């Protein structure tokens, strides 16, 4: 149980275009989802916390107009990178927390490799 999927696994886009990444909890309801960014050979950096039905909370230094997060349902959150530039190329990972429980455990998706040319 507690499986999180991400789509696509890899995406290449041209500079200036937008790209959407989906994060789904397949067998549980996720009231809270998290979006991380990972640079090569680095740790994960939390970008934002997404609660179902409300606006995402962004970490300091993360541009909310550039990284649009929508958590429209209990099983789906999306991250849209708008007007992508080569410096946005990175590995993006989402995670989800099981709703209605006190557990702190997050379940991670397999990640999405974004390359902006």
Partner 1 sequence: AQSVTQLDSHVSVSEGTPVLLRCNYSSSYSPSLFWYVQHPNKGLQLLLKYTSAATLVKGINGFEAEFKKSETSFHLTKPSAHMSDAAEYFCVVSEGGTYKYIFGTGTRLKVLA
CB of 53 to partner 1, least distance (A): 17
Residue 10, helix vs strand vs coil = strand
Is 60 among the residues that bind partner 1 (CB under 8 A)? no
Binds partner 1 by CB under 8 A, chosen from 32, 80, 89, 115: 32
Give the interface segment with partner 1, choosing from 17-25, 38-46, 69-77, 79-87 (CB under 8 A).
Answer: 38-46
CB of 83 to partner 1, least distance (A): 26
Q: Is the peptide bond before 38 cis (omega within 30 degrees of 0)?
A: no
Is 113 among the residues that bind partner 1 (CB under 8 A)? yes
Contacts of 34 by beta carbon, 8 Å cutoff, 6+ apart: 46, 48, 49, 50, 94, 95, 96, 97, 106
Q: In what order do the strands lie in the sheet with 4-7?
A: 4-7, 19-25, 76-81, 67-73
Window 70 to 99, contacts with partner 1 (CB under 8 A) = 91, 93, 95, 97
Is 58 among the residues that bind partner 1 (CB under 8 A)? no
């Amino acid at each position: 149980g507690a499986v999180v999927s991400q789509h696509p696994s890899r995406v290449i886009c041209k500079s200036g275009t937008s790209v959407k990444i989906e994060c789904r909890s397949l067998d549980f309801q996720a009231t809270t989802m998290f979006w991380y960014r990972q640079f090569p050979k680095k740790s994960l950096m939390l970008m934002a916390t997404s609660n179902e039905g409300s606006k995402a909370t962004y970490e300091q230094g993360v541009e909310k107009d550039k990284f649009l997060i929508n958590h429209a349902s209990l099983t789906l959150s999306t991250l849209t990178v708008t007007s992508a530039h080569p410096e946005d190329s990175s590995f993006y990972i989402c995670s989800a927390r099981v709703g209605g429980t006190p557990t702190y455990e997050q379940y991670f998706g397999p990640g999405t490799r974004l390359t902006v040319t």
